[in-house]
Amino acid sequence: MASSAQPPPAAGSSGPDGGSLAGGGETFGDRSLSQGLSVLVGLGLCVAMLGLGCAVELGQLGQQLRRPVGLLLALLGQFVAMPLLAFLLALIFALDEVAAVAVLLCGCCPGGNLSNLMSVLVDGDMNLSIIMTASSTLLALFLMPLCLWIYSRYWINTAVVQLLPLGAVSLTLGSTLLPIGLGVLIRYRHPRAADLLVKISLWSLLVTLVVLFILTGTMLGPDLLAQIPASVYAIAVLMPLAGYALGYGLATVFKMPPHCRRTVSLETGCQNVQLCTAILKLTFSPELIGSMYMFPLLYALFQSAEAGLFVLAYKMYGRDSYKQDTLGEEEDTDISYKKLKEEEVADTSYGTVTTEEHNSIQMEPTQTAL
């Protein structure tokens, strides 16, 4: 296992940085606070998956399965486009094996519940958003280890990839099925409680990420962020942005309406960072992963900021046109209905209509007694 001590130095941009990363990893593993951090990661993931299950209605699920467009989009977006994007970015920026594994893990993760909240804010298709998130989570049980195995072949001769715990990844994914199933059951029997749990899960996402960022930075030292290579920061910025663009293009190919395109865009770019964080924390030793444990947290930061900018742009420029498109038909119907009623009222107030011959209409004025 002497070779397993080599990956941490490669995570930094130079030898001294790599040495400090390894030391930080050892400190991270030795401190008792690390156990509490592991518990926090596990609880955050369970709450997120419970909230996801509470958002799924069996009737909508059956309807989507009869027309599996959402399932197909989740498959293409989360397990074709995003893993390939992560792999290409790792090659373009010439990442070392530790950083590449962290990026690939994030790229192969299913959709996260952040996209459900963002879809509401941009007037998207909420049913499509939930179905895509749920189906990608279930598909991840089989496709995520497969994608990791395929795209990690480029770094096969490195210690980190040789020790890539695909079995532990599958076990972590399998453990998410229980809270999802429990959430579906709660939605079926107690809809009001399910609505409350959905809101709690969305807030817990924000709280968990903030706490993880603070605790990890404290435990690994104040120089942690400075030890992460600039190329990793660039990928954390570009990857969600490119994911949003790929998702919108994918929905355009399927000729979906604008509100569905926005939904698919957010679903593709928003990854389940809680799951990625849990896998890195629970399946890799700190000596191996080093500061790359922070990558999903950085990704969450930038994916939220970029999605927030999209929401702001939509609220400022796109919402009026969306309302005109959706209300146009209703306005036309109201106008025609009003004109019809006005014509009926006008005819009645003038007099009665009698028909004497074919195509001959004569108006008989009504006389009012004085």
DSSP string computed for 184-229: HHHHHH-HHHHHHHHHHHHHHHHHHHHHHHHHHHHHH-TTHHHHS-
Average pLDDT over every residue of 117-139: 84
Contacts of 121 (CB under 8 A, 6+ apart): 311, 314, 315
Encode pLDDT of 163-174 as tens digits: 676 766 777 777
Structure tokens at 301: 């930061």
Q: Check whether 96 has a pLDDT greater than 70.
A: yes
Domain of residue 116, CATH code: 1.20.1530.20
Longest Cα pair distance anywhere in the chain, in angstroms? 114
The answer to whether residues 78 and 111 touch, using CB atoms and an 8 Å cutoff, is yes
Average the pLDDT over each of 266-280, 298-312, 353-367 and give the range with the smallest value: 353-367
What burial letters (b/e) apply to 229-247, b meaning 16+ CB within 10 Å? bebbeebbbebbbbbbebb
- Do the domain assignments include residue 223? yes
Is the residue at 140 inside a domain? Answer: yes
**Per-residue pLDDT reduced to its tens digit, 63-86:** 666 777 888 888 999 999 999 999
Of the CA atoms within 13 Å of residue 92, those in its CB half-sphere come to 13
Is residue 368, in this structure, part of any structural domain at all?
no
Helix (H) or strand (E) segment spanning residue 326 = helix 319-350
The pLDDT assigned to 13 comes to 39
Percent of the chain whose pLDDT exceeds 90: 17
Burial 305-340 (b: 16+ CB within 10 A, else e): ebbeebbeebeeebeeeeeeeeeeeeeeeeeeeeee
Residue 64, domain member (yes or no): yes
pTM of the full predicted structure? 0.71
Is the pLDDT score of 35 beyond 70? no
Question: Can you give the pLDDT at residue 84?
Answer: 95
Domain around 248: 42-319
Do the domain assignments include residue 344? no
Closest CA to 135 of 71, 55, 181, 83: 71
Q: How many domains does the chain have?
A: 1
> Considering the domain boundaries, does residue 4 fall inside one?
no
pLDDT tens digit string along 176-194? 778 888 888 888 888 888 8
Flag whether 343 is in a domain: no
Q: Is the per-residue pLDDT at 359 higher than 60?
A: no
Residue 335 domain-assigned (yes or no): no
